[in-house]
Structure 1
Amino acid sequence: MPSAATHLADVAQALSIRYNNRVYEMKARGEDVIVLSLGEAFFDIPLFSFAEMPMPESYHYNSSRGNPELRRQLAAYYGRRYGVAVNADTEILVTAGSKAAIHMSLMAILDPGDEVLVLEPAWVSYTEQVKLCHGVPVMVPIDETVFGLDRYVTARTKAIIVNNPNNPSGQVMTRAELEHLHALAERHDLFLLSDEAYSEFLLDDAFISCGALDPEKRHTLVCNSISKNHGMSGWRIGYVIASPALIAEVLKINQHLITCPPTILEHYLVRHFDAILEVTRPQIAEVVRKRGEMARYLESCGIGRLPGDATFYLFASIEPSTLGSEEFCTRLLEEHHVCAVPGIGYGTSCDRYIRISVGTESDERVKHGIRQVRRLIEATAPAPIHFRLEPAAAV
């Protein structure tokens, strides 16, 4: 009997998706679960009219680069919002979600055995996508800074993955950090693959696109998503911005794997792009505000976290629990009906953390979930501990 490809044995399931699938199973049995694991915010978005969609054109294939008008809108958006000039004809490609955009970008730049620096905490799919492209992920531990990356570069290093703002910590890179990365890329002839899927999730203008510091796109690929910033994760629309030469390579891959993004959804976005952003931006501001409130609540409970002010995630410490993050999250789900994502999914140096998302539940349910985290930490600590807790939240 033939067997599966041997290299897949080293590729893990997406840990966040595995836990969310368990939530779906529990809910199907009628169980109430506080979901702090989903990587999306549940915005209230009206359904704009489909009546003006071009028919029968919307039933058929469209350009493998993406709808030309949508590309113009996305190029204008990056130029207006982040100061990144993008040629809509040659420097952008729209595909079925930013996850596919990142993977196809890696396929376009990696040869077998090439190394990719991945900074922890790292979104769960970076390492596995590098492996699927027959590359070698080189993990940079959580206590290392951007300014110490030189020591991880070897003759085989081909790229650095930049996640800005970071999922799961919410940290935003400074201009000095980005300038150092670009200098490193120039010095060692490396690509910077910048995942900017949470670029709208800030309350100020601290975010700087990686592309803004490489206007000629000599070594930068930027991936972004309609899923997060437009609150439309189920539509699976993402895009990549890069040099014309690299986009031409990604185009080949897109043609053979995807063909094109969903035609009718592209037409919908062409007609309602700005209107959707007008609806989601106030809600983005509200969820980031809520994140700040929950960060303060974590602190009031005596629970630490990694620094960061963006996105809708908190990377919370489970110290001094004796459990690893996966066992901790399994018990949290089974015993307390609260689902969070184990930190080990974001790198081996992150096993003392869990990711908490505040985008899908009410304030009170998120706080209740945090209190259950605290209870499990107390129950699994090597010695009795007493966290501080504001009186109104006592349980």
Structure 2
Amino acid sequence: MKLSAFGKKFTRHSGILSLMDDLGNAMANDSDMIMMGGGNPAHIPEVETAFKERLQRILDSQCEFTRLIGTYDPPQGEKGFISELARFLNRHYGWGISERNIALTNGSQAAFFMIFNMFAGHYDNHQCKRIQLPLAPEYIGYADSGVKDDFFIANKPDIEHIDSHIFKYHVDFNHLTIDESTGALCVSRPTNPTGNVLTDHEIEHLDALAARHDIPLIIDNAYGAPFPSLIFTEARLNWNENTILCLSLSKLGLPATRTGIVIASEQIINALSGMNAIMNLAPNSFGSLLALDMVRDDSIRPLCQNVIRPYYEEKAKFAIHCLKRHMTGIPWRIHKPEGSMFLWLWFKDLPVSSLALYEALKARGVLVVSGHYFFPGITDGWQHKYECLRITFTQDSTSVDKGISIIAKEVRKLYGM
């Protein structure tokens, strides 16, 4: 059977496929694998109780139950949730948006596939444009989302060394070049994989550059405010007509509902709605209806700020404590943990590639993610790409401690210590 160019591209090996296969196989086999690779949110009892209670209210209402399972939504998404979310954002941020500025998608991955290919690729004038990542490393799921190859331009970061074990990436504006080949700028904040939160100044600078070149600034806010609010530092959330802001219900605790949220100009929302209709008929209702009451009565805010964020912040502190205890003598560093649910480990001058380390750890019963997957658009042999790992700390403390202990033993062996 012969495949088209499209078929070949989307059936070949990819980092996101490897990640989700590892996650799915480990879960399906009920193995003893320590899962420090995937981005599945933790199962927080208070959060699950809140959604169970909401689900029960839906089941007790014939009207809402029918909306949940028996009615197509419009291609833009569930209208009640969109309306309440617009009111919520205007209450708390004063943006002055309407329902016409919001669309839902079947998960953020689907949203980025549509948005990226809307602004990058071949134009009518035969010009070919790409998505520019002002700071790599960036999210593993972006890398293979373009219909064509050579889809990204990326910039290496400016690295600030804070102390002997902590560093932080910054956008290197001195080497950030935007020209006619750039279709859009895209950043995640907090950044997956590093937990980096771009400063307000960096966001303002990128916004000004995007406006000057008449291209959108896409901000992936899957871990940010207003939900799940996994930001451990100060950061303002801004929006304007030139910004495409992407939210998600996954890290709130609803990954299986696949609910992405896009806030953008009416023109872009109309385009996304049309693409939804062609690709899916309509996005599903499950996540938006589960979260509807929380958005309407603002209870989503204390749930995030008083339960979800402190939970992950304590998890991060514990994982860092384990690193300090187990990594003595190893040349290890981590990116300053400012948000999300990951730690980004950097082993300078690692004797093998991060992919080889990943394979060795997998054989030892610990799943992590090789750092080299997170640099789409960096095409040279920059050694830093092969010295990093992404680990997640959402599992129980015993598993996290054991997993970091095994990582330390394997790395110590590689350095000949």
Normalised by the length of structure 2, the TM-score is 0.81
Deviation at 1:57, TM superposition (A): 4.1
Letter in 2 for 1:350: K
Q: Which residue of 1 aligns with 2:381?
A: none
| Farther-moved stretch of structure 1 (323-332 vs 3-12) | 3-12
Q: Which residue of 1 aligns with 2:392?
A: 357
Distance in 2 of aligned mates of 1:12 and 1:159: 26
Alignment of 1:179-328 (within 5 A): 179-199=204-224, 200-204=229-233, 206-211=234-239, 214=240, 217=241, 219-228=242-251, 230-273=252-295, 274=298, 278-279=302-303, 281=305, 282-300=307-325, 301-302=327-328, 303-328=332-357
Deviation at 1:210, TM superposition (A): 4.5
Matched pairs, number:
372
Q: Does 1:120 align with 2:136?
A: yes
Letter in 1 for 2:201: A
- Cα–Cα, structure 1 residues 244 and 136, in superposed 2: closer, same or farther, change >3 Å? same
Q: The residue matched to 2:391 in structure 1 has which SS?
A: strand
Q: Does 1:340 align with 2:393?
A: no
Q: Would you say the 8 A contact 2:23–2:38 is kept in 1?
A: no
- Cα–Cα, structure 1 residues 23 and 162, in superposed 2: closer, same or farther, change >3 Å? closer
Unaligned runs of 5+ in 1: 386-395
Distance in 1 of aligned mates of 2:13 and 2:403: 25
Alpha-carbon displacement from aligned partner over 1:268-316 (angstroms, at most 9, x marks no partner): 3324545566545403321122112312432442431122321110001
Letter in 1 for 2:355: E
Q: The residue matched to 1:64 in structure 2 has which SS?
A: coil
Question: Which of 169, 184, 189 is residue 164 of structure 1 equivalent to?
Answer: 189
Percent of residue pairs bearing the same amino acid type: 21
| Farther-moved stretch of structure 1 (370-379 vs 274-283) | 274-283
Q: Would you say the 8 A contact 1:115–1:157 is kept in 2?
A: yes
Alpha-carbon displacement from aligned partner over 1:33-56 (angstroms, at most 9, x marks no partner): 110012022222021212225254
Alignment of 1:34-53 (within 5 A): 34-42=34-42, 43-44=44-45, 45-46=48-49, 47-48=52-53, 49=56, 50-52=59-61
| Farther-moved stretch of structure 1 (179-188 vs 264-273) | 264-273
- Cα–Cα, structure 1 residues 67 and 367, in superposed 2: closer, same or farther, change >3 Å? same
Letter in 2 for 1:298: L
Deviation at 1:151, TM superposition (A): 3.9
| Farther-moved stretch of structure 1 (79-88 vs 29-38) | 79-88
Q: Would you say the 8 A contact 1:231–1:280 is kept in 2?
A: no
Deviation at 1:147, TM superposition (A): 4.2
- Cα–Cα, structure 1 residues 368 and 29, in superposed 2: closer, same or farther, change >3 Å? same
Distance in 2 of aligned mates of 1:355 and 1:3: 34
- Cα–Cα, structure 1 residues 184 and 7, in superposed 2: closer, same or farther, change >3 Å? farther
Letter in 2 for 1:38: G
Question: Which of 94, 101, 106 is residue 91 of structure 1 equivalent to?
Answer: 101
Deviation at 1:326, TM superposition (A): 1.1
Q: Which residue of 1 aligns with 2:120?
A: 110
Q: Does 1:75 align with 2:86?
A: yes
Alpha-carbon displacement from aligned partner over 1:179-210 (angstroms, at most 9, x marks no partner): 11012112222211110000110245x12224
Distance in 1 of aligned mates of 2:106 and 2:289: 14
Q: Which residue of 2 aligns with 1:21?
A: 21
Distance in 2 of aligned mates of 1:373 and 1:4: 41
Distance in 1 of aligned mates of 2:15 and 2:31: 21
- Cα–Cα, structure 1 residues 13 and 208, in superposed 2: closer, same or farther, change >3 Å? farther
Unaligned runs of 5+ in 2: 123-127, 160-169, 379-383
Q: Does 1:65 align with 2:65?
A: no
Letter in 2 for 1:365: S
Distance in 2 of aligned mates of 1:339 and 1:265: 28
- Cα–Cα, structure 1 residues 210 and 4, in superposed 2: closer, same or farther, change >3 Å? farther
Distance in 2 of aligned mates of 1:78 and 1:295: 34
| Farther-moved stretch of structure 1 (58-67 vs 143-152) | 143-152
Q: Would you say the 8 A contact 1:164–1:198 is kept in 2?
A: yes
Q: The residue matched to 2:412 in structure 1 has which SS?
A: helix
- Cα–Cα, structure 1 residues 12 and 278, in superposed 2: closer, same or farther, change >3 Å? farther
Alpha-carbon displacement from aligned partner over 1:43-88 (angstroms, at most 9, x marks no partner): 2202121222525444121111112220122223333445543212
Normalised by the length of structure 1, the TM-score is 0.86
Q: Which residue of 2 aligns with 1:393?
A: none
The runs of at least 4 aligned residues of structure 1 exceeding 6 Å deviation read: none
Letter in 2 for 1:136: F
Deviation at 1:12, TM superposition (A): 5.7
Q: The residue matched to 1:166 in structure 2 has which SS?
A: coil
Q: Does 1:177 align with 2:193?
A: no
CA RMSD of aligned residues (A): 2.5
Distance in 1 of aligned mates of 2:207 and 2:343: 28
Q: Which residue of 2 aligns with 1:390?
A: none
Distance in 1 of aligned mates of 2:158 and 2:11: 25
- Cα–Cα, structure 1 residues 178 and 314, in superposed 2: closer, same or farther, change >3 Å? same
Q: Does 1:331 align with 2:360?
A: yes
Q: Which residue of 2 aligns with 1:138?
A: 153
Q: Would you say the 8 A contact 1:226–1:233 is kept in 2?
A: yes
Letter in 1 for 2:391: I
Letter in 2 for 1:108: M
Distance in 1 of aligned mates of 2:185 and 2:174: 10
Distance in 2 of aligned mates of 1:64 and 1:20: 27
Distance in 1 of aligned mates of 2:385 and 2:129: 24
